[in-house]
Amino acid sequence: MQNLSPDPAVRITYRDAVREALRDALRGNPLVFLMGEDVGCYGGSYAVSKGLLEEFGPERIRDTPLSESAFVGAGIGAALGGLRPIVEVMTVNFSLLALDQIMNNAATLSHMSGGQLSVPVVIRLATGAGRQLGAQHSHSLEGWYAHIPGLRIAVPATIDDARLMLAAALASPDPVLLFEHLYLYNMEGELTPGLASVDLDHAAIRRPGTDVTLVSYGWSLYKALTAAEALSKEGIEAEVLDLRILRPLDEATIIASVRKTRRAVIVDEGWRSGSLAAEVTTRIVEQAFYELDAPVARVCTAEVPVPYAKHLEDAALPSPARIVAAVHSLIGAGRSD
């Protein structure tokens, strides 16, 4: 396959990685188009699509009215008609206005038609908190969508995944929701040299360890990595697992890691009640209960609408300090002395 990676010395932002992924998709397939609020003249709410209107024109870069139900529905219809639409939703909170279209149409039509219909739509959503945007723009609802059969839920956390996951999503015959954490757009990094593609099936071990598994995704991955570095200075080696795909979950990688370390902390920016963290915890207990040295712990967002005030927002969200504290509680619980 063609090497898409730049010179290793050249750094790229997460935002630019997504933009280059969009540009490649638009150049490579005339059936691909981008639609959503402010994606054209304004260049996207997070400047991801800046410059694409000038390059590809208004037929391929379509500004839409402020009606999520309308333009998500239009994207689903375009996919049914044979096109490859990429629909951008400004913030995951607003996607609830199109939940009927996503759940009752995109996720179900293939099953209800006995496979005669497919809905190859890609929906990109900005998710997460940390930027003081208030409760209506800051929640992490990807765990809700991971509950729905018929959807594939992907969460690119790294520069590689931001650059390459869109192509994999467009190749899927099923609807794919790509959740891009808004805090990551300014993150800089380097593409892995020689890496030309990624899959939509597997989790990834981002840091090997032997004493505890930190299961995370999105922006929380970097909080887990920070916590792992702090724990390492204490002689505790944490393995950090990036879920990458929330539906279907890569159970094999999760269970293999937990069986090795015998302890697990799930880091999830969603609320604790009914969370993705609860689902991962249950699967670990179902499949590796007798190999655990301590109960599975969860670090989630406080059970409140995400606050606007910076100190309250920080207090509500998972943090490296809270992850370290959770690991300490597990290490203590597993001691026999």
Residue 5 forms part of a structural domain: no
In tens, the pLDDT along 216-275 reads 999 999 999 999 999 999 999 999 999 999 999 999 999 999 999 999 999 999 999 999
Where a domain ends, among 140, 165, 189?
A: 189
Please indicate, yes or no, whether residues 183 and 47 belong to a single structural domain of this protein.
yes
Where a domain ends, among 130, 163, 189?
A: 189
pLDDT for position 5:
47
Which CATH number belongs to the domain containing residue 88 in this structure?
A: 3.40.50.970
Please indicate, yes or no, whether residues 50 and 163 belong to a single structural domain of this protein.
yes
Residue 130 backbone zone (phi > 0: left; psi -120 to 50: alpha; other: beta): left
Per the CB < 8 A criterion, the answer to whether 129 and 318 are in contact is no
Mean pLDDT of the residues in the chain: 94
From 68, 180, 239, 279, the catalytic residue: 68
Nearest C-alpha neighbor of 153 from the set 195, 124, 112:
124
Q: Which two tokens stand for residue 116?
A: 């005669």
Please indicate, yes or no, whether residues 135 and 240 belong to a single structural domain of this protein.
no
How many domains is the chain partitioned into structurally? 2
Domain residue limits at 170: 12-189
From 20, 37, 88, 137, the catalytic residue: 137
**Is 68 an active-site residue?**
yes
Which CATH number belongs to the domain containing residue 329 in this structure?
A: 3.40.50.920
Residue 3 forms part of a structural domain: no
Q: How many whole angstroms separate alpha carbon 323 and alpha carbon 315? A: 13
Cα 140 off chain centre by: 10
Q: 3-class DSSP state for residue 329?
A: helix
Please indicate, yes or no, whether residues 183 and 208 belong to a single structural domain of this protein.
no
Please indicate, yes or no, whether residues 177 and 213 belong to a single structural domain of this protein.
no
Please indicate, yes or no, whether residues 43 and 20 belong to a single structural domain of this protein.
yes
Q: 3-class DSSP state for residue 89?
A: strand
Residue 194 forms part of a structural domain: no
**Strand blocks (E) in the chain:** 12-13, 32-36, 61-63, 84-89, 122-127, 152-154, 176-181, 188-189, 204-207, 212-216, 238-242, 245-247, 264-271, 297-301
In tens, the pLDDT along 11-63 reads 899 999 999 999 999 999 999 999 999 999 999 999 999 999 999 999 999 99
Q: How many whole angstroms separate alpha carbon 150 and alpha carbon 174? A: 7
Please indicate, yes or no, whether residues 174 and 31 belong to a single structural domain of this protein.
yes
Please indicate, yes or no, whether residues 209 and 154 belong to a single structural domain of this protein.
no
Residue 337 pLDDT class (50, 70, 90 cuts): very low
pLDDT for position 1:
37
Please indicate, yes or no, whether residues 134 and 46 belong to a single structural domain of this protein.
yes
Per the CB < 8 A criterion, the answer to whether 320 and 284 are in contact is no
